[in-house]
Chains A and B, each alone.
Chain A
């Protein structure tokens, strides 16, 4: 009974195996059965063969124990051994330093670093944090997002790495319940916010490595989250936030010609449950997709302004620039030369402040002019039209307010939650 459960290709199980660098569940099943049969079966007396049987059975349960999830016992955000070692090696992040001292940390500050595990056998239970500890760790990490002492890249780097370790601990222990879903949702939110904030800080048109790596982990965390939703389908048919998190996948893949990160949308839609497809959030995402693919810039921009949630906006932001670019291109190339396009109207079309519109046109090598009454106009079919060489700066988006950085952590809590200042005040005896 137990064995059958273990040999099912549970998706969580597959992910855990990926961590432990084994190829597929079928091959590890094979090796397991091979191990079983590789023990010599004595053919002599019945007593020795029964002893062998007992030995084989004991080995089988040991192997099963290895396949069973580890239950972590580490009571701190960072295993003691790791903290002491990193203190010695001066490998402490800025947030982990006690009074800024690079050689000293404390259980309240040190957080377990992400590290690829080589094999399941080497992981000790004392190095893995149980669920309650992981929850508090995550809450602590997310509270750092409000910090104004450090530039966002520094905060991001730390939270990025430490949440990755949290995810790893969750998967290693095969925690697939509601609480895991809650945590993965928060982690995805973090990556989405970073996706937005890292983009605005990088100046060149090429995506910075930090931004790219963040997108990579965003996709991985999102995929894990979808697997969790599926795994919990029998106990809870649809989670309350599932629709919004599913919509993120669509919004990440608006551009079918771009780098395909995972399944194509046509394939992906095939196994989305029907109630999700009919949800408000998914409806928005599909509308955005439709308008984007058709090139209907007017509807795309106005719909996003009217209906996108903050997180959806963060994801869709790069496409907003692309659509505005398309709009400018169309208007510039297809409009009658003797009727310059009023900037006021262009501002409405692009959903941009009029002052920004002028800068936007200039970035494309276009000059604006003024008519007798003082209205600003864009003459069309200029020969100097060209794509901007560097990246585009950040332009306003009408009808949308940027969230202040001090309010970021409020995105993670739907109801009023007291975040303890010292997460482990109940643990005694630390310096």
Chain B
């Protein structure tokens, strides 16, 4: 920290400050005292003596990588997206290991705002632990999501993305309901916007998820409340009535609102 203070003062040496910051980050992360990063970040970002653009590119990428990770832990997805994307774009395309590290955290963030990676990306950088999750999101396969989370539980917990991935469940529900809607539309377009809760129960049973009508009603209510589904439900007739226009709004780069 003393060295940091010295670097902050002298003119030509200022450039090294970011490098030092990144070293500090590495140490704090390894020691598990991540909360100490806050004061360092504050001095970099608020002190007028530092001009962020002056620093060498390599240090900027590393800095954005670590601060992006912090945003992921605090579940600030828009900020995390911005920082990690910056790191990815400016990272040396040759250093595959570094790109992999960035993607490891960027992918859960992108998933949370509704953007899915292509399969070749996961394969190229050996991030296959995410493949089933992406698949589950595409298919609305709740069982697959839960299974994937269980399979890689330790790994996800250690990297700190488990809680982020867990939250994707709501999007999987949305996708499932949309699929049921599409099938119904093919069978009878005039009645497609009405979905019986029993049909959803049946679909979930087929996925080996045991849920009663009350819980399905709860899930439906939550999806409507969070604007993942447009419509309303009728309690007595146990039916969801979907809006005729855009009943399943896309996330459009914003995380699911609470």
How far, in Å, is B199 (CB) from chain A's closest CB? Answer: 18
Interface presence of A376 (CB below 8 A): no
Q: Is A306's CB within 8 Å of the partner chain B?
A: no
Among A295, A327, A349, residue most surrounded by chain B Cβ atoms (within 10 Å): A295
Main DSSP-derived SS at the B contact region: helix
The answer to whether A277 touches B225 (Cβ under 8 A) is no
- Chain B, residues 209-244, CB within 8 Å of chain A (1/0): the string is 000001100111110111000001111110001000
- Residues of A contacting B218 with CB < 8 Å? 296-299, 327, 330, 349
Query: How near does chain A come to B78, taking the closest CB pair, in angstroms?
Result: 14
Q: Which of A269, A298, A326 interacts with B214 by CB under 8 Å?
A: A298
Complex Cα distance, B164 from A299, in Å, reads 20
Among A289, A331, A342, which residue has its beta carbon within 8 angstroms of that of B221? A331
B167 at the interface (CB under 8 A from A): yes
Asked if A256 is at the interface (CB within 8 A of a chain B CB), the reply is yes
CA distance A327 to B219 in the complex (A): 11
Within the complex, what minimum Cβ distance (angstroms) separates A369 from chain B?
Answer: 15
User: At the interface, yes or no: A294 with Cβ under 8 Å from chain B?
Assistant: yes
Q: Mark A243-282, 1 if CB is under 8 A from B, else 0.
A: 0000000000000110010111111011110100100000
Known: A256-B75, A266-B162, A336-B233. A329 touches B225 (CB 8 A): yes
Residue A370 interfacial (CB < 8 Å): no
Given contacts A293-B167, A294-B170, A330-B222, A335 and B234 within 8 Å (CB-CB) = yes
Categorize the interface residue count of chain A.
35 or more
Question: Which A residues are in CB contact (< 8 Å) with B226?
Answer: 295
Task: Name the residue of chain A whose CB is nearest to the CB of B167.
Answer: A293
Rounded to whole angstroms, the CA-CA distance of A299 and B215 in the bound complex is 7
Within 8 A of B (CB), among A131-155: none
User: Are B167 and A294 in contact, with the CB atoms below 8 A?
Assistant: yes
A342 to B214, CA, bound (A): 13
Residue of A nearest to B173 (CB): A294
**Which chain B residues border A274 with CB–CB below 8 Å?**
154
Question: Is A32 interfacial (CB-CB < 8 Å)?
Answer: no
B-contact bits for A322-337, CB 8 A (1 contact / 0 none) = 0000110111011110
Are B34 and A265 within 8 A (Cβ)? Answer: no
A263-B34, A270-B160, A293-B167 given; A330·B224 CB < 8 A: yes
Asked if B10 is at the interface of the complex by the 8 Å CB criterion, the answer is: no
CB-CB < 8 A to B154: which residues of A? Answer: 274
Residues of A within 8 A of B233 (CB): 334-336
Contact A266:B235 (CB < 8 A) given known A294-B167, A348-B214, A349-B218: no
- B169 sits at the interface (CB 8 A): yes
A233 interfacial by beta-carbon distance below 8 Å: no
Name the residue of chain A whose CB is nearest to the CB of B157.
Answer: A269
Closest chain B CB from A355 CB (angstroms): 21
B74 at the interface (CB under 8 A from A): yes
User: Is the CB of B4 closer than 8 A to any CB of chain A?
Assistant: no
* Closest-CB distance, B205 to chain A (whole angstroms): 17
Which residues of chain B (147-195) have a CB below 8 Å from chain A?
A: 153-154, 157-164, 166-167, 169-170
A267's contact among B73, B241, B258, by CB below 8 Å, is which? B73
| Distance between Cα atoms of A66 and B153 in the complex (Å) | 46
Which B residues are CB-close (under 8 A) to A326?
Answer: 225
Within the complex, which residue of A264, A272, A277, A296 is in contact with B222, where a contact is CB–CB below 8 Å?
A296
Residues of B within 8 A of A290 (CB): 166, 169
Which residues of chain B are within 8 angstroms of A294 by Cβ–Cβ distance? 167, 169-170, 222
Chain A minimum-CB-distance residue to B75: A256
Q: Are A349 and B234 in contact (CB under 8 A)?
A: no
Q: Identify the closest chain B residue to A299 (Cβ).
A: B215
Q: Is A341 an interface residue (CB 8 A)?
A: yes
Q: Is the CB of B235 within 8 A of A335?
A: yes
Q: What is the bound-complex CA distance between A327 and B164, given in angstroms?
A: 23
The answer to whether residues A339 and B167 also contact, given A266-B162, A270-B158, A330-B224 and a CB cut-off of 8 A, is no
B11 at interface (Cβ–Cβ under 8 A)? no
Which residue of A has the minimal Cβ distance to B220?
A334
Q: List the A residue with the shortest CB-CB distance to B241.
A: A336
Q: Are A330 and B221 in contact (CB under 8 A)?
A: yes
22 A-B contact pairs sorted by A residue (CB < 8 Å): A264-B75, A269-B163, A270-B158, A272-B157, A293-B167, A294-B167, A294-B222, A295-B225, A296-B222, A298-B218, A327-B221, A330-B222, A334-B220, A334-B233, A335-B221, A335-B232, A336-B234, A336-B241, A338-B234, A345-B214, A345-B235, A349-B218
Question: Which B positions have Cβ atoms within 8 angstroms of A?
Answer: 32, 34-35, 72-75, 153-154, 157-164, 166-167, 169-170, 214-215, 218-222, 224-226, 232-237, 241, 258
A interface with B by C-beta (< 8 Å): 256-257, 260, 262-267, 269-272, 274, 277, 289-290, 293-299, 326-327, 329-331, 333-336, 338-339, 341-342, 345, 348-349
Other A-B pairs beyond A295-B258, A298-B215, A335-B234, 9, CB < 8 Å: A264-B75, A266-B161, A277-B153, A290-B166, A295-B225, A296-B215, A296-B218, A299-B218, A327-B218
